[in-house]
Amino acid sequence: MQKFDILIVGGGMVGLTLALSIRKQTTLTVAIVDTNPIAELSNEPEVRVSAINSASKQIFDNLDVWSLISEQRLQPYQHMHIWDKAGYGKIDFDLAQVQQSIATEQLGFIIENNVIRNALWQQAQNDQGIRFFTQELLTNIAVGDSEVFASFTQQAPIMAKLLVGADGANSWVRKQLDMPMTFRDYDHHALVATVKCPQGHQNTAWQVFLPTGPLALLPLFEDDLCSIVWSTSPQEAERLSALPAEQFAKELTAASDGKLGNVELVSERFTFPLTMRFAQDFVKERVALVGDAAHTIHPLAGQGVNLGLLDAAALAQVIADKVSEQSLSQDGNLAWASSKNLNHYNRWRKSEASEMIAAMESIKQLFTPQSAAPKILRGIGMSVLNKLTPAKNILIKQALGYKGQLPELAKQPLD
Ligand SMILES: Cc1cc2nc3c(=O)[nH]c(=O)nc-3n(C[C@H](O)[C@H](O)[C@H](O)COP(=O)(O)OP(=O)(O)OC[C@H]3O[C@@H](n4cnc5c(N)ncnc54)[C@H](O)[C@@H]3O)c2cc1C
């Protein structure tokens, strides 16, 4: 039997952030199980990227991971240009405009997922209190009164006081524990690829709402490269994926109104079905869910992993607060892993996730094909909003991640 305080199943961006957040604030020991090793970066950009907001950057900074990320590659952006193909409305967000009310140097960063994961993994490997299990997956979980037992086929089983499912949208942990989940098909598939833009990305995140769904062109670390996320019906995604590269580029140029010039496809295309998932509870007995294991949302606002990183920081904080209370009172009864303590995490993060799910739903509904009158109103609404600096500042604050109850790691540098 191998004993740890916390066992994390899944070493993706969220699971690794949780491990480091726990170690930053406690001396608890952590085991991570994941058989998907980190991948060496090639010179070509990865097609899976994330828009990382200021709150997430602050978490990485506090975990001493931001410097490892920025040593590799990332692209900050200072502008956002959003427009409506059908209704003629548009909104521009500009850093200079919002800086008077919010102290920030960027509106966000586009970072390849593997750049983030590599940096987190490297940092976790340097921590004596974190041990990786990468040879095989777990086969069974048994939850006892004060411990969780997890077994492999070949290696000795692991015993921990808390088990965390950070194993993504199709979470094995969630299924093993029979944790019920609400889900809804967005009836969209996201097509992702890298494209070359002759007019350059201009440090701008571009997003057009087409009648079939949103298309984002996100700036990459080379001035003329963008990562696209094109959300559309499953049939249209299949058609776009099968087009010859030149024809695809023509349709993409037309869809983006040629705002970045005649774009050229420079990578393979991949598609992902988009589903809203929301676990009814993020905690059951001595088991907690974080990140995509707990919730998945539409990528139209680039908030999925940002939400998951806040789960990780929040769960670590709830645990650390309880651990320090116990050390003050000399009470060694391990109540930090009790469901009563974890319920605070459950209520906190469920409420933030449900708000985000509702917000994604409203935006998606607003732009679904509709009759002429609402389309005109939507265009007028966007144009009016575009001129209202205070309202835009509220939206920007939300996009930066400064909303709701933030965990300490997302707020300010820790000592
Ligand atoms: C097209 C698209 C674009 C997106 N763009 C953005 C964006 O711009 N900004 C943003 O914030 N979010 C974005 N997201 C969402 C974001 O990608 C996810 O929220 C994020 O990857 C979730 O991270 P995670 O660590 O929770 O899960 P994952 O990234 O899925 O990681 C799960 C880990 O668990 C491991 N695992 C799986 N099963 C097991 C098991 N049985 N045992 C052990 N390990 C296991 C896997 O190997 C993996 O390493 C986007 C999503 C999509 C689909």
| Structural domain range at position 184 | 2-410
Burial of residue 372, with CB atoms counted within 10 A of its CB: 0-12 exposed, 13-18 middle, 19 or more buried: exposed
How far does residue 301's CA lie from ligand 1's centre (Å)? Answer: 16
Atom of ligand 1 nearest to the CA of 192: 1
How far does residue 297's CA lie from ligand 1's centre (Å)? Answer: 11
- Check residue 14 and give its pLDDT: 98
| Ligand 1 binding pocket includes 34 (Cβ within 6 Å) | yes
The answer to the question of residue 415 being in a domain is no
- Check residue 271 and give its pLDDT: 98
How far does residue 292's CA lie from ligand 1's centre (Å)? Answer: 6
Question: Long-range contacts for 196-200 (Cβ within 8 Å, ≥24 apart)?
Answer: 196/224, 196/225, 196/263, 196/264, 196/266, 197/224, 197/225, 197/226, 197/260, 197/261, 197/263, 198/224, 198/260, 198/261, 198/262, 198/263, 198/264, 199/259, 199/260, 199/261, 200/224, 200/260
How far does residue 146's CA lie from ligand 1's centre (Å)? Answer: 30
From first to last of the 415 residues of the chain, give the pLDDT tens digit: 899 999 999 999 999 999 999 999 999 999 999 999 888 899 999 999 999 999 999 999 999 999 999 999 999 999 999 998 877 788 888 877 766 666 678 899 999 999 999 999 999 999 999 999 999 999 999 999 889 999 999 999 999 999 999 999 999 999 999 999 999 999 999 999 999 999 999 999 999 999 999 999 999 999 999 999 999 999 999 999 999 999 999 999 999 999 999 999 999 999 999 999 999 999 998 999 999 999 999 998 889 999 999 999 999 999 999 888 876 655 555 678 877 789 999 999 999 999 889 888 877 776 666 655 566 666 666 666 666 666 667 777 777 888 788 999 998 654 4
- Residue 78 maps to which CATH number? 3.50.50.60
Q: Which residue has its alpha carbon closest to ligand 1 atom 53? A: 272
Q: Quickly list DSSP for 67-100.
A: HHHHHH--EEE-EEEEEETTT--EEEEEHHHHTT
| Alpha-carbon torsion (128, 134, 136, 142), positive or negative | positive
Q: Which residue has its alpha carbon closest to ligand 1 atom 17? A: 305
How far does residue 121's CA lie from ligand 1's centre (Å)? Answer: 15
Please report, as a single letter, which amino acid is at residue 298.
Answer: H
- Report the first-to-last Cα separation within the chain, whole angstroms: 36
Atom of ligand 1 nearest to the CA of 171: 38
| Ligand 1 binding pocket includes 33 (Cβ within 6 Å) | yes
Q: What is the DSSP letter of 403?
A: -
139 within 8 A of 263, measured Cβ to Cβ: no
How far does residue 382's CA lie from ligand 1's centre (Å)? Answer: 32
Quote the number of domains for the chain: 1
- Check residue 360 and give its pLDDT: 80
How far does residue 117's CA lie from ligand 1's centre (Å)? Answer: 10
Please report, as a single letter, which amino acid is at residue 50.
Answer: S
Mutation to probe ligand 1, out of 34, 136, 194 (largest number of atoms < 8 A from CB): 34
Atom of ligand 1 nearest to the CA of 291: 26
The answer to the question of residue 342 being in a domain is yes
Q: What is the DSSP letter of 368?
A: S
- Check residue 415 and give its pLDDT: 44
The answer to the question of residue 400 being in a domain is yes
The answer to the question of residue 68 being in a domain is yes
Q: Which residue has its alpha carbon closest to ligand 1 atom 29? A: 12
The pTM for the full model equals 0.94
